[in-house]
A and B are shown apart, each in its own frame.
Chain A
Amino acid sequence: MAIEEIVAPGSSVAGPPPVVGRFGDLVYQLRGNPATFAGLFIVGLIFLSALLGPVLARYDPYGVNLGDAALAPSFTHPFGTDQYGEDVFTRVVVASRLDLIMVLSAVALSTVIGVTIGAIAGFFGHFFDEGVMRSQDVLQAFPRFVFAMAVAWALGPGVTTVIVATAAINIPGYARLMRGLMLSVKESQFALAAVAVGNSRWRLLWRHLLPNCLTPVIVLSTLQCGFTILEAAGLSFIGLGVRVPTAEWGVMIAMGLQDFLQGHWWIYTFPGLAIAVAVLGFNLLGDGLQDILDPKRRRV
């Protein structure tokens, strides 16, 4: 055990020694971690299709053409067409923009609110802490998806609804994580040192403690992107999120369900695959970031 700690296992066979520089180091870390690389690749692909999708699309995602309704996949329509004759491939690609916007907004919203609540609870303790933690207990006793459903129903269908509803259910997770981190970080030596040289409480919190809690938050946010895609699609699937003609992955599966008994499998299979691949990408990336950002777990 002791020897292994000094001479890291595999360091002599896994490739060249670490390259100096941040980018070089990133490349080195990714080479030893193919799953993370795959995750990064998928996430990059989604960003790319969100950026360029509408430009590259060969068909209009809302181009109703009943003459070509429900065609099976072919060379002209690689993913087939839905019951309105809209090209499924185009819609899957175009939908990535809307889905990505919803997911990133929701995750950003829940991260900011959750981290703030958790940091305050952990840093100031006492009354804040009790209040925050007890309300978290109550929120956690709610089934997540039912809670999201209720919020979405209260707000009425729409893109903002999906963002708010999926953000709301994730706030407790961030608050809990941040509180725990803050509790341990605020007792550390460097916090004591920062107080000793005369930093104010707010400066201590902002400049010294928060940055030291960010790594797990980044990892959680990446993983949450995946779960949020699932929840957003679920809400839209049951009609509480984005509504029917919109090119959105969950909505497209719902449209496929209408045609289920006709056996038009391609209408719902491909949007679902898109969701699965996207979530997989964010999950792999999140897991990998955990290994790369944590000094104890990263490649030497």
Chain B
Amino acid sequence: MGSTRLLLYAARRLLFIVPVLLVALFLVFALTRIVPGNPVDRVAGPYISNERRAELKHIAYLDRPFYEQFALYLRDLSHGNMGTSYTTAQDVSKDLRQRFPATFELVTYAMLFAIAVAIPLGIAAAIKKDSWIDSVARAVSVLGVSMPIFWLGLMLLYVFFYFLDWLPGPVGRTGSATVFIKPITGFLTVDSLITGNLDLFGQVVKALVLPCFTLGFVAMAPIARMTRAVMVEVLQSDYIRTARSLGLPFRVVVLRHALKNAMIPILTIIAAVYGYALGGEVLVEIIFSWPGMGQYSYNALLSSDFPAIQGFVLLVTLLYMVIYLFLDIANAALDPRVRY
């Protein structure tokens, strides 16, 4: 596979993102505009004059038909303007830039934790089928998909914050620290280390523990399950038997030969869970008062903040598509049979 062909493939996939984004945006427009009630009434309250109300509607394009609003939004978007949020009164792009790092940091650490536990667990369960470690893997994957994530968060908060008081309560990213640093990357673990603020770093890490564990535990289940299922199948295949009969050490066979071939479905499920978590950890953010995109979208929905909802959907859909693009490229790199 030539690298130019891979680039061409990536370019084609990137082009495919555009129509998907358009359709997703159109759906959001349709969904928000059919709802009775007008955001102007909710934002401005009942005590403004009718002229002012009409003026506000005009500024937000809300006096125009639905398809014109859509066209105007696309026009503004092409100039890099995502509109102004009705609730925060600043650019949606700025809002999202402020909140994205919080979500990204939380989800990434949670996924790293989930992967670090789930893949070894799945491999061990596959090697020692029907042993105690297999039972543990099974329990983890069954419990992880059975527990309501917001309830798990609450229970952990009760034990580690209320009862034991080891970890900070649901007060956001810095726990009890009131230090404020100017965001450099927006990722507080990185920023606090760059500025050498070890005290803040400790607080940030402590604040991350519970939300990360909550999200990670739920993310762990499908990954462990998939790893076990694929590894069981791969370990029974002929080439593994051959590799073993050639006298290769078991570790090498498992890690280099079996795992490499099992990686494609495992990566697929990781990408799916990661994409899901990036947009879907609303409940975790609400429980832990985490100032990320999930809470932003929730508040935007509750206050009919149309530009904010649109911006959020645009960003999340884009992230999702990019994750899948990376996945496909990784698959192509891992599997020589993949033609593109």
Q: Which residues of A contact B (CB under 8 A)?
A: 135, 137-138, 141-146, 149-151, 153-154, 226-227, 230, 233-234, 237-238, 240, 250, 253, 256-257, 260-261, 263, 265, 268-269, 272, 275-277, 279-280, 283-284
Residues of B within 8 A of A138 (CB): 20, 23-24, 27
A260 and B282: CB pair below 8 A? no
B280 and A154: CB pair below 8 A? no
Residues of B within 8 A of A238 (CB): 282-283, 286, 298
Closest A residue to B294 by beta carbon equals A146
Residues of B within 8 A of A151 (CB): 31
A96 to B142, CA, bound (A): 21
A144 to B273, CA, bound (A): 11
A253-B154 contact in complex given A146-B316, A238-B286, A263-B162, C-beta closer than 8 Å:
yes
Which of A226, A240, A260 contacts B157 (CB under 8 A)? A260
Residues of A within 8 A of B282 (CB): 145-146, 149, 238
The 15 listed contacts between A and B (C-beta, < 8 Å) are A135-B23, A142-B316, A143-B275, A143-B279, A150-B31, A226-B146, A238-B282, A253-B148, A263-B162, A268-B151, A269-B158, A272-B155, A275-B147, A279-B148, A283-B145
CB distance from A267 to the nearest CB of B (A): 10
A276 and B316: CB pair below 8 A? no
Does B150 belong to the interface (CB within 8 Å)? yes
A230 and B280: CB pair below 8 A? no
**Helix, strand, loop or mixed for chain B's interface?**
helix
B317 and A142: CB pair below 8 A? yes
Q: Could you tell me which residues of chain B, from 25 to 48, have a CB within 8 Å of some CB in chain A?
A: 27-28, 31-32, 34-35
Closest CB pairs A-B (n = 8): A143-B279, A272-B151, A279-B146, A143-B280, A280-B146, A145-B280, A138-B23, A153-B301
Given contacts A135-B23, A263-B162, A276-B146, 17 further A-B contacts (CB under 8 A): A141-B317, A143-B275, A143-B278, A143-B320, A146-B297, A146-B312, A146-B313, A150-B309, A151-B31, A154-B34, A230-B149, A253-B151, A253-B154, A260-B158, A272-B155, A276-B151, A280-B142
Does B302 belong to the interface (CB within 8 Å)? yes
A150 and B28: CB pair below 8 A? yes
Closest B residue to A135 by beta carbon equals B23
Which interface class (under 10, 10 to 19, 20 to 34, 35 or more) fits B? 35 or more
Residues of A within 8 A of B280 (CB): 143-146
A268-B20 contact in complex given A142-B313, A237-B283, A238-B298, C-beta closer than 8 Å:
no
Residue in A149, A256, A284 with the greatest tally of chain B CB atoms within 10 Å: A149
B31 and A268: CB pair below 8 A? no
B154 and A260: CB pair below 8 A? yes
Residue in A143, A234, A276 with the greatest tally of chain B CB atoms within 10 Å: A143
A257 and B146: CB pair below 8 A? no
Residues of B within 8 A of A135 (CB): 23
B24 and A142: CB pair below 8 A? yes
Closest A residue to B302 by beta carbon equals A153
Closest B residue to A151 by beta carbon equals B31
Residues of A within 8 A of B278 (CB): 143
Q: Could you tell me which residues of chain B, from 117 to 171, have a CB within 8 Å of some CB in chain A?
A: 142-143, 145-151, 154-155, 157-158, 162
Q: Which residues of B contact A (CB under 8 A)?
A: 20, 23-24, 27-28, 31-32, 34-35, 142-143, 145-151, 154-155, 157-158, 162, 275-276, 278-280, 282-283, 286-287, 297-298, 301-302, 309, 312-313, 316-317, 320-321
A146-B162 contact in complex given A153-B302, A253-B151, A280-B142, C-beta closer than 8 Å:
no
A230 to B35, CA, bound (A): 26
Residues of B within 8 A of A226 (CB): 145-146
Which of A141, A261, A263 contacts B321 (CB under 8 A)? A141
Residues of B within 8 A of A150 (CB): 28, 31, 301, 309
CB distance from A91 to the nearest CB of B (A): 16
Residue in A141, A153, A253, A261 with the greatest tally of chain B CB atoms within 10 Å: A141
CB distance from B180 to the nearest CB of A (A): 25
A230 to B278, CA, bound (A): 18
A256 to B276, CA, bound (A): 27
A272 and B162: CB pair below 8 A? no
A153 to B313, CA, bound (A): 15
A154 and B35: CB pair below 8 A? yes
CB distance from A177 to the nearest CB of B (A): 15
Residues of B within 8 A of A253 (CB): 148, 150-151, 154
CB distance from B206 to the nearest CB of A (A): 19
Closest B residue to A230 by beta carbon equals B148
A153 to B280, CA, bound (A): 16
Which of A149, A269, A275 contacts B155 (CB under 8 A)? A269
A234 and B31: CB pair below 8 A? no
A279-B27 contact in complex given A141-B317, A146-B282, C-beta closer than 8 Å:
no
Closest A residue to B286 by beta carbon equals A238
Residues of A within 8 A of B283 (CB): 145, 234, 237-238
Closest A residue to B279 by beta carbon equals A143
CB distance from A42 to the nearest CB of B (A): 11
B31 and A237: CB pair below 8 A? no
Residues of A within 8 A of B275 (CB): 143
B154 and A149: CB pair below 8 A? no
A141 and B320: CB pair below 8 A? yes
A257 and B154: CB pair below 8 A? yes
